[in-house]
Amino acid sequence: MARAEAGERLGFLLRRAQQAHLALWNEIVSTDVTSVQFGALSLIDAESGLSQAELGRELDLDRSTIADVVARLERRGLVERSRAEDDRRRYRLRLTPGGQACLLELAPLVERMDAALTTQLSTAEREALQRALQSLLGGRTG
DSSP β-bridge partners for residue 79: 95
Angle subtended at Cα 129 by Cα 124 and Cα 104, rounded to the nearest 5 degrees = 90
The pLDDT value given to residue 108: 98
Q: What CATH architecture applies to the domain 3-136?
A: Orthogonal Bundle (1.10)
Domain residue ranges in the chain: 3-136
pLDDT in tens, 60-80: 999 999 999 999 999 999 999
pLDDT digits (tens, 9 = 90+) for 41-61: 999 999 988 999 999 999 999
